[in-house]
Amino acid sequence: MNRHGLALSFSLCIGTSLLVQSALAQQIPLPRPRPAEFGPSNITLPEPEEIPQKPAAVEAPATPEPAKAAPVKTPPKAIIATDASRETLIAEINRTLAGMKHFSALFVQNGSDGQRATGSLAVLRPGRLRFDYDPPNAIEVIADGNVVAIRDNRLGTQDVYSIGLTPLKFLLRDTINVENDAKIIDVKVSGERVIINLEDSSTFGGTSRISLGFDRQTMLLKQWTVTDPQGYDVSILLTAINLDDAPEPLLFVVPEKPGTAKTR
């Protein structure tokens, strides 16, 4: 990927492929080019193994205790029907994304060459997003509503881009309508996921392909894959999603220079 290629999580943005450039390759190894004879990438989202939740303990009637809050309090919905119409699926996706005004999560990032990185994500709509990669990486990706900054606190570099050039910018809008912001290739129910495949021709360097995966029962955004204009794939899987606690606004302030203390 060239120096100006965007790999966000945002991914959302998600960026996301997560806005990581070749200048950062010492911290986050980037995928190798896809051989031309292999043809275009066929994006598929893996079905991650879900960790079963422990059943709630039965409290004695005489000494009841309040139940502990789960990371996500969104009530379960009826499972999306396998034969749900395109219009129904798109409406559910728009409704779900519009309702995610803020959230935080842990993420696992996988490149098409098998490289893996982990970290944490925070989103505060409209326009604000932050990826912090776990050590030994020293990368931060911060969107403040206007620009996206890719910061390497070890090398002391900071590159800033317009948020409008990032592949998942529409996830950060105040009003979300995926049909207005990207070209929908298809939308379907596959196993335990509702998957929508998109193309965005306004990303840096050309057209990016984006695949979003939602939990079929709760319709929470759980994962995405971004293929940048050069054919590199980056996938993000979200865990420990928290919709209840809004991140601090100061997390999304872009410092004047890298290497300064984190606000987290």
Buried-state track 8-31, b at ≥16 Cβ within 10 A, e below 16: bbbbbbbbbbbbbbebbeebbebb
In single-letter form, the type of residue at position 14 comes to I
pLDDT one-digit tens code per residue, 91-145: 999 999 888 899 999 999 999 888 899 999 999 999 999 999 999 888 999 999 9
* Alpha carbons 150 and 141: distance in angstroms, whole number: 5
Instruction: Measure the N-to-C terminal CA separation of the chain; round to a whole number of Å.
Output: 30
Its pTM stands at 0.69
Domains and CATH numbers, the chain: 1-26+76-241 (2.50.20.10)
pLDDT one-digit tens code per residue, 54-94: 444 545 444 444 444 344 455 456 578 888 899 999 999 99
Cα separations in angstroms, 69 against 38, 72, 102, 188, 242: 48, 8, 18, 32, 11
pLDDT at 263: 39
pLDDT at 47: 53
- φ, ψ for residue 165 (rounded to 5)? -95, -5
Contact present, 148 and 172 (Cβ < 8 Å): no
- DSSP code, position 15: -
* Alpha carbons 166 and 186: distance in angstroms, whole number: 21
pLDDT one-digit tens code per residue, 184-204: 999 999 999 999 999 988 776
pLDDT one-digit tens code per residue, 157-187: 999 988 888 877 878 888 888 888 789 999 9
* Mean pLDDT across the chain: 75
